[in-house]
Structure 1
């Protein structure tokens, strides 16, 4: 059912899959339980490129040919989702492990794949559709979900899909955020961080178009019920977008792959990866073009956007000295982008670090527990109004209290789980696993090693002292 060559696996290298996944994500976000989990716990708004890269890596592991890697990733995903539960704004409970909600995620992926093939001029015949549906059912079973949540046959799937669309989906906050806010303020990927004007100009054109295409592709019954207005001509624009992306399959084999996309969105031009030299050359050319564009059409900062007018990305990391308290709050601490520091923000940090290091139990739980203890310490120290979260103002007024014993414990546990061989120093492979780049010379001692004391000192300087760090910024501040 899985592995290279299967119809299921080829989906992820299809250029149209990017648009289809946006559509599937919107349909997922319209489900009340999934939408609530996205709003409370997801970093898709503040760290979209990191989230996309992590999702692609996870899908590659789950659908790859390595059975052991597949089982490990499934176990990791289930542990991650088991930690996401709570109540939404209407005081309704949600649980990321809810079987019906998890089944809906698989259903939206399958239906969006079928729509993708149809709109890109490659409609699946009945046999191909049956084959693809069987593979998605196998994918659901691989995740450990019991059978019965999705119909066993394709014939019964369509009534199930129509019923959920008509009876359960809502115009949720998560849906509105994805359609109307995510692309408006989408930060530049690492390759384009040095050309903010060029990125802003392209985003101003592409963002609304993506929203129009996505809305037009949603089921008509849901659009009417949710009050989503379809722009005249949007159906034709949507099909044209799918056809244009689908034409990329005519390029030489291997040019358009999920791996190449992953490199483009996650490989920083200042990385030591050999491919980064090519990206750096492209980036330099874009910078020159962006400088010319700024002379011709200067664009002002966007009002109302967190961090507007402040340096960000690579330019921020290259800046000397310390961040301001508000910038540090927005770019590092407020991982979910809701304007407050609370447990989902620290859980997102633990989730990102666990994923980078590919942690298994019990190391993953040790890291989460350390962050949970830090959150309890922050809450008792900084939450002066007792609302269960820390505002930007509360944080700014009590900055000296950030580096308490619990944060030191986070640093110690992070070192322990990074030091895989337990020799009390981090070698080149362990360093690359965490930072996804080679050693930065300024971090090493005279013996060329990164010691426990140096690691903890640097981590605390970054997390508590708001000190810029070429190594540590990409861990938690990158988009």
Structure 2
């Protein structure tokens, strides 16, 4: 069911899979419980590339051949989902551990995988479809969910899927954000940081097209019930996009490997990886192209949401309290600081370090204590969250004992060998870049005291920092 011989492994590196994942995400967001969880807790609006990378890595682990890796990832996902529960704007409960909700997530991935083949003129035969469905059932079982939450047979699955589309799915806030905000306001990935004109110009062309293709690929019954727009020619555009993605499979294999896509999402303009020199040359050419574009069609930097972010590589470059609030603290992008924002920070750090219990819980607990301290110090109107104005008025309160504890716990979980210093391998795991000379002491080590000092300087002093800035603010 898993590994190189599986049906899933065949299409994981297929260019059409990108369209299928977007479609599946929209169908997930249309489920009331999933939509509410996304709206309240997810950083997919402000950090979509980070979310995409983490999703790809998780799927690789779950469908890989190594059983130990799959069990670790399943346990991590279950811990993550256990922390996602609450009530939506209508006071309806949601719980990411609800087995019916988890079954729907798997159902959308399977159905969208089948659909990507059909829309590209290459429908799966019955045997391949049966095998693929068995693999997704095994995926759900690997998470520990009991049989029965997905129908046992393929004919029963299609009845289940049609019923969910007709009766359960809704035009949720999360769905509207994905279709009508995310694509048209997509922040630049690290590769395009500092190139707002190039990115904004490309996004202005591609964003509406991606949204139109995605809407056109959704089940017709849901499109009608949700009142989604019918754009003339959308069906032709959508089928052309799937056909083009199918033809793209003729590209060299190393262009299509998911591992390479993940590596591309890692790339940073000030990184030092093996492709740093090539990336630098490419960015130089893009900057020249951007200068030409500005002469032809000026694009204000603020349209890209990157105003004030150029030059983040300089350690002496300060930013305003409002910029820090927007770029670092407000992880969910709702304009307020509350527990889901700090939980998103903890989630990203745990993911980078691939933590197990109890280290993961220690880090979450440290962030939870910091949130309680922030709420007590900054929430002046008592509404349970901190606005940008409340933060700016009392920003010095950020550097309290709980934040120091966050820094110390983060050092502990990064220092995997427990030698009270962070070596080059541990540093790269957290920051995804090599050592900078400025962080090392006379002995060539990154000590606990230096780490805590730098973390506090970044998180409380709003000091731009080459390694720390991408840690929590990259898209």
Q: TM-score range by the shorter chain?
A: over 0.9
Q: Distance in 2 between matches of 1:212 and 1:405?
A: 49
**Residue 459 of structure 1 corresponds to which residue in structure 2?**
455
Is residue 119–residue 242 contact of structure 1 (8 Å, CA) maintained in 2? yes
**Residue 394 of structure 2 corresponds to which residue in structure 1?**
398
Q: Distance in 2 between matches of 1:194 and 1:373?
A: 35
**Worse-matched range after superposition: 440-449 or 283-292:** 283-292
Q: Distance in 2 between matches of 1:426 and 1:467?
A: 22
Is residue 315–residue 463 contact of structure 2 (8 Å, CA) maintained in 1? no
| Match for residue 311 of structure 1 among 308, 311, 336 | 308
1:311-358 deviations in whole A, cap 9, x for unaligned?
22x633447431100000000000000000000000001101111111
| Match for residue 323 of structure 2 among 302, 327, 331 | 327
Q: How does 1:397-436 map to 2 (within 5 A)?
A: 397-436=393-432
- Whether 1:339 aligns to 2:367 is no
- Whether 1:27 aligns to 2:27 is yes
Q: Distance in 2 between matches of 1:316 and 1:172?
A: 36
- Whether 1:112 aligns to 2:109 is no
Is residue 195–residue 287 contact of structure 1 (8 Å, CA) maintained in 2? yes
Q: Distance in 2 between matches of 1:454 and 1:52?
A: 32
Is residue 37–residue 85 contact of structure 1 (8 Å, CA) maintained in 2? yes
**Residue 98 of structure 2 corresponds to which residue in structure 1?**
98
Q: Distance in 1 between matches of 2:315 and 2:463?
A: 10
Q: Distance in 1 between matches of 2:428 and 2:315?
A: 23
* 1:255 counterpart SS class: helix
Relative distance call for 1:10 and 1:33 in structure 2 (3 A) is same
CA shift for structure 1 position 436: 1.1
* 1:86 counterpart SS class: strand
Q: How does 1:339-418 map to 2 (within 5 A)?
A: 339-418=335-414
Give RMSD over aligned pairs.
Answer: 1.3
Q: Distance in 2 between matches of 1:319 and 1:443?
A: 11
Q: Distance in 1 between matches of 2:301 and 2:468?
A: 27
1:156-181 deviations in whole A, cap 9, x for unaligned?
10000000000000000000000000
Q: Distance in 2 between matches of 1:361 and 1:128?
A: 38
Q: Distance in 1 between matches of 2:266 and 2:240?
A: 28
* 2:253 counterpart SS class: coil
Relative distance call for 1:76 and 1:45 in structure 2 (3 A) is same
Q: Distance in 2 between matches of 1:259 and 1:424?
A: 33
Q: Distance in 2 between matches of 1:265 and 1:393?
A: 33
**Worse-matched range after superposition: 223-232 or 249-258:** 249-258
Is residue 193–residue 269 contact of structure 2 (8 Å, CA) maintained in 1? no
5+ residue gaps, structure 1: none
Q: Distance in 2 between matches of 1:315 and 1:10?
A: 42
**Worse-matched range after superposition: 339-348 or 9-18:** 9-18
Q: Distance in 1 between matches of 2:194 and 2:122?
A: 38
**Residue 266 of structure 1 corresponds to which residue in structure 2?**
266
1:348-369 deviations in whole A, cap 9, x for unaligned?
0110111111111111000000
**Residue 57 of structure 2 corresponds to which residue in structure 1?**
57
Q: Distance in 2 between matches of 1:138 and 1:225?
A: 32
CA shift for structure 1 position 437: 1.1
Q: Distance in 2 between matches of 1:390 and 1:432?
A: 33
Q: Distance in 2 between matches of 1:185 and 1:11?
A: 29
Q: Distance in 2 between matches of 1:407 and 1:194?
A: 30
Tell me the TM-score normalized by structure 1. Answer: 0.97
1:68-92 deviations in whole A, cap 9, x for unaligned?
1111111111101100100001100
Q: How does 1:169-188 map to 2 (within 5 A)?
A: 169-188=169-188
5+ residue gaps, structure 2: none
**Residue 146 of structure 1 corresponds to which residue in structure 2?**
146
**Worse-matched range after superposition: 40-49 or 258-267:** 258-267
Is residue 193–residue 315 contact of structure 1 (8 Å, CA) maintained in 2? no
CA shift for structure 1 position 188: 1.2
* 2:94 counterpart SS class: strand
CA shift for structure 1 position 261: 1.1
Relative distance call for 1:318 and 1:247 in structure 2 (3 A) is farther
CA shift for structure 1 position 302: 5.0
**Residue 478 of structure 1 corresponds to which residue in structure 2?**
474
1:393-425 deviations in whole A, cap 9, x for unaligned?
000000111110000000010011111111111
- Whether 1:14 aligns to 2:19 is no
